[in-house]
A and B are shown apart, each in its own frame.
Chain A
């Protein structure tokens, strides 16, 4: 049996969003710009950052992303996320540590509908000729600065975006917490790859104490159609994914 997450769920549930229900309508959004960085992380925290339902990847990795959604039912918004690479049973996933958005309405909606633990911040993604830069700032304090350096065009078909697992509370979770699988489709219109640079990462602001990026893997920047689908699966956060998964539709 591979290693399993050891995160103590109970304290984390206090800040986890409460789902309205599982009957969330999909948001399909065109023209999304998405910057994503992958780093290998120190193995000291490879299990303690993940709930007991999930396995760490070998080697452990973290995903840092900043996206701009030009439209949605609650208007345009940006979204920054830090996730830990993992496996739900045998399937590649990213467990969300925390998210920020420039839209309080988006924070609220993403939390109630898909379980994103999200707070307001100034979240921006900007493309320059030599790099793409994503920043997250609160009250003038930078919480993350993530860059793709030297962008080179690639095929979007080469990019693999892992689905997200969000820790949330639900009416029927018996106080154990649920992991909401958010698995959007992507249609790529433009894709670039480059070198990842993480020059600011305020770990405490991301529930990422002890998470140490130690080795750059890659960075991508894409323009795509994607969104937030209907919830198809939820998992018991404290039970092995293979047996603790519930299919909703």
Chain B
């Protein structure tokens, strides 16, 4: 079991000149500490226009800063939105390769397709097409990274032969992941040899079934790249405190705030009827039973909030259902003061991490295809 942290970069109103800079600076301080403490990965999302919820539209720049300020932690670019109206596939390959070089081969490449009308609508992307374009682009990225010259005639894009430069530092190429939110995407990921980058919080029983099916399918995959990544990377909240009640209370505030903010966005499924988006996004996973605005926020099973002992138990549950890695959201809307976030990280590293990790060095989780 390995541990990572991930960032949405949520910036609460009221905004002034310093608001975003403060949140970014705090995030970088957390990343430096996480690197020292032995966390394995730092991930940053790509989102556009998501007021307050996420001001992380250029994650590759944030991650470059993370890379140059750290020594060992791996940088997770993800998910990168593989929708050609938002990111031309060549630019995705170029930026990722550059980040891999700058980080000394520490890139983890997450792929996805966006789940909000807020983003897709603004870029005039048709929600019907995003599964298809994601599929096309994830098949092209490894070729762009490994072939001297690349050309393509497809539905999402076309181009004559060109040398796409630079090439990634990791050979044959960085590990690839797919964001798992909608039911069935785990099958898409398994069939293509992509790692599972879970983006739903909790729901252990449901996750166990899906992980088992993923494990079964990836054994017979046709990988899109030269490496198969069969790791399951889940997401969770983290607030660790010596006093369990304090930890749970603060953690619930963090979880509730995140869920509340996520719910304000206009999901693709809500705005635009399409079979391409069977799920409403994060909200149903967070509050499956709520039909009244007054219902209390349900705390999903397996949340990593509370005392070290409670968190150890939660992680053991994740381990038992087949998760290999857990990425933690440390804050939302800055509801947890920076000093407490850092203390939580330190306590986790001291009391919880030794129960699960033995490795000294952060490593990619891949195997050469066919091995």
Contact = CB atoms under 8 A, between A and B. Distances in A.
Contact of A61 (B259, B271, B286): B271
A247 B273 contact: no
B50 interface: yes
Pick from A88, A158, A162, A193 the residue with the most CB of B within 10 Å. A158
B87 to A, nearest CB: 21
Looking at B261, B263, B286, B293, the one whose CB has the most chain A CB atoms below 10 A away is B293
A168 to B, nearest CB: 17
A90 B294 contact: no
Given A2-B260, A58-B50, A59-B118, A90 B273 contact: no
Interface of A: 1-3, 38, 40, 55, 57-59, 61, 85, 87-92, 154-155, 157-160, 162, 181, 183, 191, 193, 215, 217-218, 220, 232-233, 235, 241-247
A162 B269 CA distance: 12
Contact of B293 (A2, A160, A245): A245
Nearest to A155: B275
Contacts of A235: 293-294
Nearest to A88: B293
Interface of B: 12-13, 49-53, 117-118, 121-122, 259-266, 269-275, 280, 283, 286-287, 290-294, 297
Nearest to A59: B118
Nearest to B262: A90
Given A90-B259, A160-B280, A193-B273, A232 B264 contact: no
B283 A90 contact: yes
B292 A154 contact: no
Contacts, number: 102
Nearest to B294: A245
23 contacts: A1-B13, A57-B264, A57-B266, A58-B51, A58-B264, A61-B266, A90-B283, A90-B287, A91-B293, A158-B269, A159-B273, A160-B269, A160-B270, A160-B273, A191-B273, A215-B121, A218-B271, A220-B273, A232-B292, A233-B293, A235-B293, A242-B294, A247-B292
Contacts of A220: 273
Contacts of B264: 2, 55, 57-58, 87, 90
Contacts of A191: 273
Closest 9 CB pairs of A and B: A245-B294, A90-B263, A89-B293, A88-B293, A241-B293, A158-B273, A159-B273, A2-B264, A233-B292
Given A58-B51, A85-B266, A160-B273, A245 B292 contact: yes
B274 A243 contact: no
Contacts of A87: 263-264
Contacts of A92: 263, 270
B274 A58 contact: no
A233 B13 CA distance: 30
Given A91-B291, A215-B121, A158 B271 contact: no
Contact of B270 (A157, A162, A244): A162
B270 A40 contact: no
